[in-house]
Structure 1
Amino acid sequence: MTQQGVRWTADQVLALAPDAASRDAGSRLGAAGPWSETGSDEGAVWGLCKGSGSRPYRTAVDVANASGPAYTCSCPSQKFPCKHALGLLLLWADGAGRGAVPRGRAPEWAEQWIEGRRESGSEEKPGSEHGTSGGPSSDSVASARRRTERRAERITAGVTELEQRLTDLLRGGLATVEQTGYGLWEETAARMVDAQAPGLAARVRELGATASSGPGWPVRLLEECALLHLLGQGWLHREHLPPGLAATVRTRVGLSAAPEGPPVRDRWLVLAQYDRADSKLTTRRIWLYGADSGRTTLLLSYGAAGRAPELALPVGLVLDAEVSAYPASLRGALGERFAPPEPTAIRPPGVTVTRAVARYGEALRDDPWLESVPVTLDEVVPTPDGDSWQLADATEDAALPLTPAARTRPGLWRLVSLSGGAPVKVFGECGHRGFTPLTAWPTGTAARTGTGTGEPIPLY
């Protein structure tokens, strides 16, 4: 569920709610007001929540449990998790980098529960103040299996409802979308959160943002509807899919997975770092390249809206560290670091434009919902293409258009200035809308007339 202190999104937390009432009550407790003595470490979160009585409720969550989070709370609720556990997790997610739930050592009551359940390997029953044992490990496995089955049933119900809404949308015609407004999409996304499918909720919100988003929006909306329908059908028929594709469907729907396999120690070159923000969350994306393994991996770090995520790695430096891979994904989790980042002359190997496009096509076979793949283009020249821009390959008659978003960023002009009409090496994300350049290195003439040192230039 989590690794090396990476915090969850609000949608991931709310997807744990047993019902809509718990979701609403937990949301109201996701603020610092009623909480005191909160804290967290690599695997647990704890705090005291003021209730109607004289003594605050003691609440703790084990977020490192491989079969899903485990909870304890001294409140009398029979729901699992209770509203206090949900509120604590929301505060933890919202407080990234601001100290709302600071790192520290657990108090004695929380430490006893954490150590006790990990020693016994058993799940805890909600409502027990100190987390008495829930039974032998076989009961724990059965309990985890039942929770997994219940969640799968909720997701199936949510997918079925979503399929009906897509059918109604297409039956009424895309022209009606402009009259319905964004409220319909947000209400549908909330229903997917209730169904414990945060991945579906995020895609529904993207549908809402696509409607009336500029010339050609009906085509883009139809494409997104088709991809969402494909994902829904994939979930409903996941038993008949190849194992790899079934794992991808589970990940895209929003089922969390822990990193698997042994961590890989490597000299990891920091290729790029940039943030994406919405009204609720700031997501930091950091691309790494393993100089020895040849692997490219993505680190994600989160912060509340307007707040910088905790993890930050300087572009162009190399990091001696371990990284664990998530299944069915390019994502990784940063593990132990053996030395601070340091300057390096290492650069990722590049490919031609033709090979970059082919690489994206190959990746779509395993993940039809993949927006883009990380690619380093070896020798390309930024050139205007009417009202747009493209990266023309210096070694073949081929070019990649820049994505609409990339054409409006200042990084485009840094790239043009760095090139000066000469080829440059560019790392970025290649997808169905084009190429988004993230980092560039001068080569040949550009290296001699540009920076002169060949240092990477961030473009985002």
Structure 2
Amino acid sequence: MLLSHGGEPLRTAAPAARWTVEQVLALAPDASSRKAGGRLGSAGPWSGAGCDGPGAVWGLCKGSGSTPYRTVVDTTGPAYKCSCPSRKFPCKHALGLLLLWASDEAALGPAEVPDWAGEWLDGRRRRAAQKTVAEGGGSSAGGSGAGPADPEAARRRAERRAERITGGAQELEQRLTDLLRGGLASADQSGYGLWEETAARMVDAQAPGLAGRVRELGAIPTLGPGWPGRLLEECALLHLLDTAWLRIDRLPAPLAATVRTRVGLTAPADGPTVRDHWLVLAQYDTADGKLVTRRIWLYGRDSGRTALLLSFGAAGRSPGQALPVGVTIDAELTPYRGAGQLRAELGGQFGAPSPAGTPPPGSTATAAVAAYGHALRDDPWLESWPVTLRAVIPVPSGDGWQLADASDGTALPVAPAALSRPGLWKLVALSGGAPVTVFGECGHRGFDPLAAWAADSSDGGAAETVPLI
């Protein structure tokens, strides 16, 4: 019997709903992969291609060698397997296969799963079933669980690391004090090397969160006019984080958990599990030195919760977790501790994803700013907060754009980072001067639009999500 990722039997053998071409392209790790996958999105390079009801797609793609590449995708994950040597995830062959599946039903129809694809698919579903049993407190036949960790040894390791972080925070406080005594306006004369040295000291103190903020300080003097004011703001936030860590025993538990996360301590996702129908709102990657971070925003149809999935990959490799924007998954999420509790871990999935979903209800521009302000009370280091704007119109404003509320005329400026992206023009075209619903991140630099829905999508039913990033 075929199993879903949650380990439950699939309740229907009907073919899984096909994604749109735009949803497939949103999975591409970069622009070059999107372009290369597009060239493989026709039937020409493929042979032995097919799909089955539970959500598997497979095919053989002709390459430069004599042996075609074997590509298989489990769309309930999604998860990918390809015999090509690419380090990108998904590779161009997986993207091309999905594009063919999305655009040409005649070329890629229901078929019997070949042995090479079935072996991988069965292994995935078997592991999913075993994981579900283990999480429920049982054990698979013939298996044995890992022995319990030594709690005393773990406590000693945590104490030693906390001492190192405290030493790093005290050293950083002295560095900030020296900077202020010397004057912020002279910070550009010391160059980036001193900041990098300080960041390296924070890494030695096992406080990667502090190290990352120090590196950001070093880059501020290169940002053009007004940089001393910006540097003062960031120094104040860093001082606040240092002080919070040095007095963490006096903080409320949720704020203390946030401070631990901000300095770089990790904690398991241990909140109450939430099962819902989650609409994938947005997915995008950011690169920071040797690390690529992928952010996936979800909205729960029944719970009304917004959740953030984070995954990481080494430089040059996209993170493994990927979800097509606009699909709805029936899944369990487990939140992490900390103020806001937006970040969560994806658990079991039940059945195949739906190709559309109900967008968040949305609010006014004024309410969006108020929501960000409220979130700052719990996490003063928060760069932005996820909000959905209802009935707004993108209009030009000076050298930029803003989203104007159609009802009261209030507006939010579009964040500078979004002005150079093609997604902004996609939003303008979708609107055509009429109100639209827009999801994005609202912060002190403005509103960064990530997804949108047409004006006729506000009736509470399923609608097509238009990705803007």
Q: Do both share a fold (TM > 0.5)? A: yes
**2:203 equivalent among 193, 200, 211:** 193
1:459 maps to which residue? Answer: 468
**2:413 equivalent among 373, 376, 401:** 401
2:351 maps to which residue? Answer: 339
Shift of 1:153: 0.6
| Structure 2 Cα separation of the partners of residues 410 and 366 of structure 1 | 34
1:129 maps to which residue? Answer: none
Alignment of 1:152-191 (within 5 A): 152-191=162-201
SS at match of 2:286: strand
Counterpart AA for 1:340: A
Structure 2 vs 1, CA of residues 248 and 424 (structure 1 numbering), >3 Å: closer, same or farther?
same
Counterpart AA for 2:146: R
Asked if residue 281 in structure 1 is aligned to residue 291 in structure 2, the reply is yes
- What are the Cα deviations for residues 157-184 of structure 1, in whole angstroms up to 9, with x where unaligned? 0000000111111111122222222222
Structure 2 vs 1, CA of residues 415 and 276 (structure 1 numbering), >3 Å: closer, same or farther?
same
1:58 maps to which residue? Answer: none
**1:362 equivalent among 346, 370, 374:** 374
Shift of 1:117: 8.4
1:374 maps to which residue? Answer: 386
Shift of 1:215: 2.5
- What are the Cα deviations for residues 302-339 of structure 1, in whole angstroms up to 9, with x where unaligned? 11212221111111110111111000131111111112
Structure 2 vs 1, CA of residues 182 and 310 (structure 1 numbering), >3 Å: closer, same or farther?
same
SS at match of 1:292: coil
| Structure 1 Cα separation of the partners of residues 375 and 272 of structure 2 | 24
Shift of 1:276: 0.7
Asked if residue 242 in structure 1 is aligned to residue 260 in structure 2, the reply is no
Counterpart AA for 1:439: A
SS at match of 1:400: strand
Structure 2 vs 1, CA of residues 326 and 397 (structure 1 numbering), >3 Å: closer, same or farther?
same
2:241 maps to which residue? Answer: 231
Structure 2 length normalisation: TM-score?
0.67
SS at match of 1:261: coil
Asked if residue 324 in structure 1 is aligned to residue 334 in structure 2, the reply is yes
SS at match of 2:237: helix
| Structure 2 Cα separation of the partners of residues 282 and 341 of structure 1 | 26
8 Å contact kept, 1:443–1:454: no
| Structure 2 Cα separation of the partners of residues 232 and 298 of structure 1 | 26
8 Å contact kept, 2:334–2:344: yes
| Structure 2 Cα separation of the partners of residues 278 and 150 of structure 1 | 27
Alignment of 1:435-454 (within 5 A): 435-444=447-456
Asked if residue 146 in structure 1 is aligned to residue 156 in structure 2, the reply is yes
Structure 1 length normalisation: TM-score?
0.68
- Aligned CA-pair RMSD: 2.4
Counterpart AA for 2:306: T
Asked if residue 389 in structure 1 is aligned to residue 417 in structure 2, the reply is no
Aligned pair count reads 331
| Structure 1 Cα separation of the partners of residues 464 and 153 of structure 2 | 54
The answer for unaligned runs of 5 or more in structure 1 is 5-94, 106-114, 123-139, 448-452
| Structure 2 Cα separation of the partners of residues 454 and 344 of structure 1 | 6
| Structure 2 Cα separation of the partners of residues 118 and 361 of structure 1 | 45
Counterpart AA for 2:324: P
| Structure 2 Cα separation of the partners of residues 312 and 343 of structure 1 | 15
| Structure 1 Cα separation of the partners of residues 196 and 436 of structure 2 | 43
Shift of 1:116: 8.2
Counterpart AA for 1:301: S
Shift of 1:98: 10
**2:282 equivalent among 264, 267, 272:** 272
- What are the Cα deviations for residues 119-158 of structure 1, in whole angstroms up to 9, with x where unaligned? 3x13xxxxxxxxxxxxxxxxx2222111111111100000
Structure 2 vs 1, CA of residues 320 and 162 (structure 1 numbering), >3 Å: closer, same or farther?
same
Asked if residue 258 in structure 1 is aligned to residue 268 in structure 2, the reply is yes
Asked if residue 291 in structure 1 is aligned to residue 301 in structure 2, the reply is yes
Shift of 1:205: 1.4
| Structure 2 Cα separation of the partners of residues 318 and 427 of structure 1 | 16
| Structure 1 Cα separation of the partners of residues 381 and 289 of structure 2 | 24
8 Å contact kept, 2:328–2:357: no
**2:226 equivalent among 216, 219, 223:** 216
Counterpart AA for 1:338: F
The answer for unaligned runs of 5 or more in structure 2 is 1-5, 7-86, 92-122, 128-142
| Structure 2 Cα separation of the partners of residues 295 and 355 of structure 1 | 17
Counterpart AA for 1:327: R
| Structure 2 Cα separation of the partners of residues 310 and 439 of structure 1 | 22
Shift of 1:212: 1.8
Structure 2 vs 1, CA of residues 97 and 442 (structure 1 numbering), >3 Å: closer, same or farther?
closer
| Structure 1 Cα separation of the partners of residues 450 and 378 of structure 2 | 25
1:203 maps to which residue? Answer: 213
| Structure 2 Cα separation of the partners of residues 301 and 148 of structure 1 | 24
1:414 maps to which residue? Answer: 426
Asked if residue 424 in structure 1 is aligned to residue 402 in structure 2, the reply is no
- What are the Cα deviations for residues 267-311 of structure 1, in whole angstroms up to 9, with x where unaligned? 110000111113312111000011111110100111121222111
8 Å contact kept, 1:400–1:434: yes
Shift of 1:224: 0.6
| Structure 2 Cα separation of the partners of residues 410 and 402 of structure 1 | 13
SS at match of 2:302: coil
| Structure 1 Cα separation of the partners of residues 401 and 89 of structure 2 | 38
| Structure 2 Cα separation of the partners of residues 276 and 320 of structure 1 | 27
Structure 1 stretches of 4+ with a deviation exceeding 2 A read 95-99, 115-119
8 Å contact kept, 2:331–2:346: yes
| Structure 2 Cα separation of the partners of residues 168 and 311 of structure 1 | 43
| Structure 2 Cα separation of the partners of residues 288 and 222 of structure 1 | 35
SS at match of 1:249: helix
SS at match of 1:342: coil
SS at match of 2:152: helix
Shift of 1:189: 1.1
| Structure 2 Cα separation of the partners of residues 214 and 419 of structure 1 | 34
Shift of 1:409: 1.4
